[in-house]
Amino acid sequence: MTNISSLPRELAPGVFWLGDCLEQPFKGKIYHAYNAAFLVIGSKSSLLVETGHPKDFPLIEKQMSEVLSNTKAPLRHLFLTHQETPHSGGLGRMLRRFPELTIHGDISDYHLAFPEYADILRPMEVGDSIDLGDRLFVAAEPVVRDMRTSLWGFDAGEKVLFPGDGFAYSHYHWDGHCGQIAEEAESLDLKDVSAVFAERALYWTMFVDMNIYVERMYTLLDELGVKVIAPTHGLPVLDLETTVPLAMEGLLSGRDLIFSDRATMSSNHKEAVV
């Protein structure tokens, strides 16, 4: 059984997956999900995407140290997709642990929480980039937003997309999915597990035409030439042709799954009352 001991895991040359699982109860089962972080190693400097959940910081710090010990590119940059706790909750610890960091993304309100670090905040908009030496890290369009300030990242060197809450889904701990990429998790029902996040983290998707967002997602993947998808809350995707259509099907069917389930519950309740 593959588990968290397999992390850090190199997804592409110089791109490492870090983190730990978080348990989530749903429909009488316990699902696992990631609040992942990713380390991008350049020839001159390295960049961390997300801080991970605060509970995971000791482990993520250990994983980072393991990777950085084998490179001469020091950690100099931190990119945050948005201000939610699983993505940026470790910011204070990161700043104390790595005082030479610069913080990147839509940093609209970080200065309110960390006024003493206001001078190292670097606002980014779509298309802005960070030079890591032999590769650029680029701010990408956030097709699926969790917050107004959401911003995605893209490693132009190895064509890796970091979509934050895009491609968000849980996985089955009992089937050994922890630490696996999506294509290795053969028993994973993407339609079902995507519905978990649709209801709990991206509830707005229940009330809009998601075909518009799915079409734009495909366009963005094509425009950037994405080869790897590294979501904060899902298993990384290395075979886009196989997995992306399944993830998009889950995104499109999330509303039907949630509301049909509620209709069944309501009907059962009425029958019980009668």
**What value does the mean pLDDT of the chain take?**
85
Q: Which one of 3.60.15.10, 3.40.50.10490, 3.30.1950.10, 1.20.120.80 gives the CATH number of domain 4-187+211-238?
A: 3.60.15.10
For residue 214, list its beta bridge partners. Answer: none
How close are the terminal C-alpha atoms of the chain, in Å?
48
Q: Say if strands 29-34 and 37-41 run parallel, antiparallel, or are unpaired.
A: unpaired
Q: What is the pLDDT of residue 145?
A: 84
Q: What is the pLDDT of residue 177?
A: 80
CA 28 distance to own-chain centroid: 25
Domain residue extents for the chain = 4-187+211-238
> pLDDT, tens digit, for every residue of 159-217?
999 998 888 777 777 777 888 888 888 877 776 666 666 666 666 667 778 889 899 99
Question: Exposed/middle/buried for 68, CB within 10 Å: 0-12, 13-18, 19+?
Answer: middle
CA 249 distance to own-chain centroid: 19
Q: What is the pLDDT of residue 274?
A: 47
Q: What is the pLDDT of residue 202?
A: 67
pLDDT lower than 50: segments of the chain: 1-4, 259, 261-274
Q: What is the pLDDT of residue 249?
A: 84
Residue 249 φ then ψ, to 5°: -65, -40
